[in-house]
């Protein structure tokens, strides 16, 4: 699959997404955890959006970087740091994002 | 019932006979006041032979049959001691001043000898029965002799009774208990013994005279059976044809005819089987030849195309062609390997193999395509200082390539494929894990089946890859295993023996 298609998919449908305590509204660029609005940067939102679209599915860092950082300014280190920031903002729910073999991330599939 | 005969241990047989002697002595003691001393002594002395009979039919045969004579002598002596002691002490108790006569004492002490004689008769009867069981002519002889015995016994017994005319009941008998005992001991038993002795002697004589005649007559009748047996043995040894008829028309002739038919049928079936065997072998050989020929016919042109492409200049279309040709080569190799595994023709050369080299080599060559085509990341996780595996280098490469390709096909864009290798001390454990959609539990047992492809799969592939993996790994004395969590991914494990 080429990159344009993925980008469209990641940003595409305006439907509300819900996974465990997280609710994401693409049309308003809003993410709430337990009803509390999170203050997310653009890449953080895009990354979380991608993960929420495919709960349980693993994405490797290079792929996340390619899809989320369209302008190609990212690196695997940037992906790692962004994930850490999102986890911090999720607070007690940070475990919902898990690392897979140190090479990628996914939303825990058992929510 | 049958177990009561010839089944007791020696001490048990002696005890039983002593009990019988004791029981039989009771009437003598009750009647002793009215019975004369010699009669009383004779009665007591007679108890020893009666006890001997009980003992002989109770005592089991020598269990280890190594020294039958010693066993019988020892048991009979033990019995003699007991019965003799019993009879003599009874006589002593009721002595009443008169010493017993010498013959009476001898009779009282004769238990052991009587027992030996009866045991000898039992042994002979058993041996005779064994002989009859083994030979039909002896069985016929026995049948003829038993007719002689059945006729001779009553006739001789009646004749002896008439000749001796024993006075069982003396004149002026008063029917008191003491006189009945006296009558039994002094008249009935001696009279019966004399009659039975004469009758037995005469019957025995008749039997001995009849034996040669019975034997000759039996042999005449069994000769045809013996011929039949000889012919059947020859048939078993492969002699053909089996003689179909003799001159008679009885059951034996019928049996001979049936055996003749069976032998003919057996020969026919055997011939058919042999023909089929030869045909199968020819078919099998031709399949081998076809496989070899086909393999060369297909592989050579592809190799030639591949070589030709390599010599041309670099170009994107050429790269594609090269890649497709390479895939075709691998596929053809897989198909023929699988076909060879099936006809047991695969030549495996197990040797110490470094799986690290194989895995690294494959991952290096596949990783760029995996990223380019599907954005799949391939990583390796290999324990350091891993022992060598006992495997065939080429086949092992084929196995790993198939596992990796299968994992790649299962994995969606952005996923990860991990190859790990470790040891559990006995075996090398290689795992290929992916983050694909996984396999439903009910489908899991069928992933190794030929042409199996995951449901709703749009993936390419022949469905032969995992079958080949399983066949090859098992041919190298390894094991395969598949696990999966739907939605998260699958894990394929192979275990291979360590080298040395």
Domain-ending residue, one of B280, B311, B346: B346
Query: What integer pLDDT is reported at residue A83 of this predicted model?
Result: 93
Tell me the per-residue pLDDT of A9-64, one tens digit each, with 9 for 90 and over. Answer: 444 557 889 888 999 999 888 999 988 998 999 889 999 999 999 988 999 998 99
In a domain, B373, yes or no: yes
In a domain, B233, yes or no: no
In a domain, B236, yes or no: no
Asked if the Cβ–Cβ distance from A57 to B381 is below 8 Å, we say no
| Pick from A57, A62, A109: CB nearest B412 | A57
Residues B182 and B65 placed together within one structural domain of the fold: yes
Quick one: A60 exposed, middle or buried, by C-beta within 10 A (0-12, 13-18, 19+)? buried
Task: Evaluate if residue A2 carries a pLDDT over 50.
Answer: no
Q: What is the least distance, in Å, from the CA of A14 to any CA of chain B?
A: 22
Tell me the per-residue pLDDT of B96-108, one tens digit each, with 9 for 90 and over. Answer: 655 567 778 888 8
Please report residues of A whose CB lies closer than 8 A to that of B367: none
Residues B335 and B353 placed together within one structural domain of the fold: no
Domain-ending residue, one of B228, B243, B262: B228
Question: Higher-confidence residue: B11 or B66?
Answer: B11
Query: What integer pLDDT is reported at residue B176 of this predicted model?
Result: 84
Query: What integer pLDDT is reported at residue B380 of this predicted model?
Result: 93
Under 8 Å between Cβ of B432 and B419: yes
Task: Evaluate if residue B458 carries a pLDDT over 60.
Answer: no
For residue B53, which of B17, B84, B105 has the smallest C-alpha distance?
B17
Torsion of Cα atoms, B31 then B34 then B35 then B40, to 10°: 40
- Beta bridge mates, B491: B433, B483
In a domain, B19, yes or no: yes
Asked if the Cβ–Cβ distance from A58 to B489 is below 8 Å, we say yes
Tell me, what DSSP letter sits at residue A72? S
Question: What are the φ and ψ backbone dihedral angles of B196, each rounded to 5 degrees?
Answer: -65, -40
Residues B370 and B331 placed together within one structural domain of the fold: no
Q: What is the least distance, in Å, from the CA of A59 to any CA of chain B?
A: 5
User: How are strands ordered across the β-sheet holding A104-107?
Assistant: A59-60, A104-107, A97-100
Average pLDDT over every residue of B121-128? 90
Task: Evaluate if residue B456 carries a pLDDT over 60.
Answer: no
Domain with residue B477: its CATH number is 3.30.565.10
Query: What integer pLDDT is reported at residue B97 of this predicted model?
Result: 53
Nearest chain B residue to A103 by CA: give it.
B416
Task: Evaluate if residue B219 carries a pLDDT over 60.
Answer: yes
In a domain, B241, yes or no: no
B435 touches chain A (CB under 8 A): yes
State pTM to two decimals: 0.52
Residues B101 and B199 placed together within one structural domain of the fold: yes
Residues B101 and B208 placed together within one structural domain of the fold: yes
Average pLDDT over every residue of B447-475? 76
Residues B34 and B168 placed together within one structural domain of the fold: yes
DSSP E strand stretches across A10-103: 17-19, 22-25, 30-33, 36-37, 59-60, 97-100
**Which domains, from first to last, does chain A contain?**
3-107 (1.10.10.10)
Task: Evaluate if residue B33 carries a pLDDT over 60.
Answer: yes
pLDDT tier at B166, thresholds 50, 70, 90: confident
Nearest chain A residue to B381 by CA: give it.
A101
Nearest chain B residue to A108 by CA: give it.
B488
Query: What integer pLDDT is reported at residue B2 of this predicted model?
Result: 53
Residues B392 and B316 placed together within one structural domain of the fold: no
Range of the domain at B412: 347-497
| Pick from A1, A61, A101: CB nearest B413 | A1
Residues B154 and B212 placed together within one structural domain of the fold: yes
Q: How far is CA B22 from the centre of its chain?
A: 50
pLDDT tier at A72, thresholds 50, 70, 90: low
* CB within 8 Å of B446: residues ≥ 6 apart: B452
pLDDT tier at B303, thresholds 50, 70, 90: confident
Residues B362 and B339 placed together within one structural domain of the fold: no
Query: What integer pLDDT is reported at residue B293 of this predicted model?
Result: 78
Q: Which of B46-60, B128-142, B296-310 has the lowest mean pLDDT?
A: B296-310
Residues B360 and B326 placed together within one structural domain of the fold: no
Query: What integer pLDDT is reported at residue B96 of this predicted model?
Result: 61
Under 8 Å between Cβ of B393 and B353: yes
Domain-ending residue, one of B228, B261, B291: B228
Cα angle: B411, vertex B417, B422; to 5 degrees: 145
Tell me the per-residue pLDDT of B311-324, one tens digit each, with 9 for 90 and over. Answer: 877 677 787 888 88
Query: What integer pLDDT is reported at residue B1 of this predicted model?
Result: 44
Asked if the Cβ–Cβ distance from B414 to A100 is below 8 Å, we say no
Greatest mean pLDDT among B42-46, B75-79, B215-219, B479-483 lies in: B479-483
Q: What is the least distance, in Å, from the CA of B421 to any CA of chain A?
A: 14
In a domain, B364, yes or no: yes
Query: What integer pLDDT is reported at residue B108 of this predicted model?
Result: 80
Residue B355 and residue B50: Cα distance in Å, rounded?
Answer: 90
Asked if the Cβ–Cβ distance from A63 to B377 is below 8 Å, we say yes
Query: What integer pLDDT is reported at residue B418 of this predicted model?
Result: 95
Query: What integer pLDDT is reported at residue A1 of this predicted model?
Result: 37
- Beta bridge mates, B432: B419, B492
Query: For chain B, what is the domain count?
Result: 3
Tell me, what DSSP letter sits at residue B82? H
| Pick from A6, A58, A62: CB nearest B435 | A58
Query: What integer pLDDT is reported at residue A7 of this predicted model?
Result: 40
Query: What integer pLDDT is reported at residue B29 of this predicted model?
Result: 84
Asked if the Cβ–Cβ distance from A58 to B371 is below 8 Å, we say no
B365 touches chain A (CB under 8 A): no
CB pairs under 8 A between A and B: 59
Please report residues of A whose CB lies closer than 8 A to that of B412: 57
In a domain, B242, yes or no: no
Residues B318 and B370 placed together within one structural domain of the fold: no
Residues B209 and B329 placed together within one structural domain of the fold: no
In a domain, B247, yes or no: no
Nearest chain A residue to B414 by CA: give it.
A59
Query: What integer pLDDT is reported at residue B232 of this predicted model?
Result: 92
Residue B482 and residue B444: Cα distance in Å, rounded?
Answer: 7
Please report residues of B whose CB lies closer than 8 A to that of A7: none
Residue B279 and residue B404: Cα distance in Å, rounded?
Answer: 42
């Amino acid at each position: 699959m080429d990159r344009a298609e993925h980008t469209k998919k990641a940003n595409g449908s305006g439907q509300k997404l819900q996974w465990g305590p997280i609710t994401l509204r693409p049309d308003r660029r809003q993410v709430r955890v337990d009803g509390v609005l999170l203050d997310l940067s653009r890449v953080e939102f895009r990354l979380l959006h991608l993960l929420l679209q495919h709960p349980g599915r693993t994405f490797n860092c290079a792929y996340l970087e390619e899809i989320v950082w369209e302008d190609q300014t990212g690196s695997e280190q940037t992906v790692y740091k962004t994930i850490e920031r999102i986890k911090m903002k999720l607070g007690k729910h940070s475990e919902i994002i898990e690392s897979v073999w140190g090479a990628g991330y996914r939303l825990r599939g058992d929510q | 019932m049958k177990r009561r005969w010839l089944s007791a241990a020696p001490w048990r047989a002696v005890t039983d006979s002593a009990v019988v002697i004791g029981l039989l002595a009771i009437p003598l003691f009750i009647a002793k006041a009215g019975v004369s001393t010699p009669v009383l002594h004779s009665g007591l002395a007679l108890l020893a032979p009666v006890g001997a009979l009980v003992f002989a039919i109770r005592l089991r045969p020598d269990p280890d049959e190594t020294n039958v004579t010693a066993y019988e002598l020892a048991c009979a002596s033990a019995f003699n001691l007991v019965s003799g002691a019993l009879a003599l002490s009874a006589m002593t108790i009721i002595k009443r001043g008169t010493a017993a006569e010498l013959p009476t004492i001898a009779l009282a002490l004769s238990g052991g000898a009587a027992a030996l004689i009866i045991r000898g008769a039992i042994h002979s009867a058993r041996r005779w029965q064994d002989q009859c069981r083994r030979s039909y002519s002896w069985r016929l002889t026995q049948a003829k002799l038993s007719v002689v015995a059945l006729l001779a016994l009553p006739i001789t017994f009646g004749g002896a009774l008439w000749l001796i005319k024993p006075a069982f009941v003396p004149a002026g008998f008063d029917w008191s208990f003491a006189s009945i005992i006296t009558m039994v001991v002094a008249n009935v038993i001696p009279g019966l013994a004399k009659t039975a002795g004469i009758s037995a002697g005469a019957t025995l004589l008749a039997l001995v005279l009849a034996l040669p005649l019975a034997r000759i007559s039996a042999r005449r009748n069994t000769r045809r059976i013996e011929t039949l047996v000889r012919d059947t043995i020859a048939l078993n040894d492969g002699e053909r044809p089996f003689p179909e008829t003799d001159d008679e028309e009885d059951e034996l002739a019928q049996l001979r005819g049936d055996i003749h038919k069976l032998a003919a049928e057996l020969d026919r079936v055997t011939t058919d089987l042999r023909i089929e065997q030869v045909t199968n072998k020819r078919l099998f050989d031709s399949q081998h030849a076809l496989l070899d020929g086909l393999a060369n016919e297909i592989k050579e042109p592809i190799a030639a195309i591949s070589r030709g492409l390599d010599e041309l200049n670099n170009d994107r279309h050429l790269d594609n062609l090269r890649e497709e040709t390479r895939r075709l080569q691998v596929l053809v190799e897989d198909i023929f390997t699988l076909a060879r595994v099936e006809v047991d023709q695969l030549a495996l050369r197990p040797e110490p193999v470094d799986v690290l080299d194989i895995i690294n080599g494959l991952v290096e060559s596949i990783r760029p395509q995996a990223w380019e085509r599907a954005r799949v990341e391939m990583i390796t996780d290999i324990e350091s200082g891993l022992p060598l595996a006992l495997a065939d280098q080429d086949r092992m490469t084929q196995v790993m390539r198939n596992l990796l390709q299968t994992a790649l096909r299962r994995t969606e864009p952005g996923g990860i494929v991990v190859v790990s290798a470790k040891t559990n001390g006995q075996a090398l454990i290689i795992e290929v894990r992916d983050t694909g959609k996984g396999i439903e539990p009910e489908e899991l047992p069928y992933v190794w089946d030929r042409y199996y492809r995951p449901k709703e799969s749009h993936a390419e592939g022949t469905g032969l890859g995992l079958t080949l993996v399983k066949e090859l790994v098992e041919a190298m004395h390894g094991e395969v295993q598949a696990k999966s969590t739907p939605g998260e991914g699958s894990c394929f494990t192979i275990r291979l023996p360590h080298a040395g």
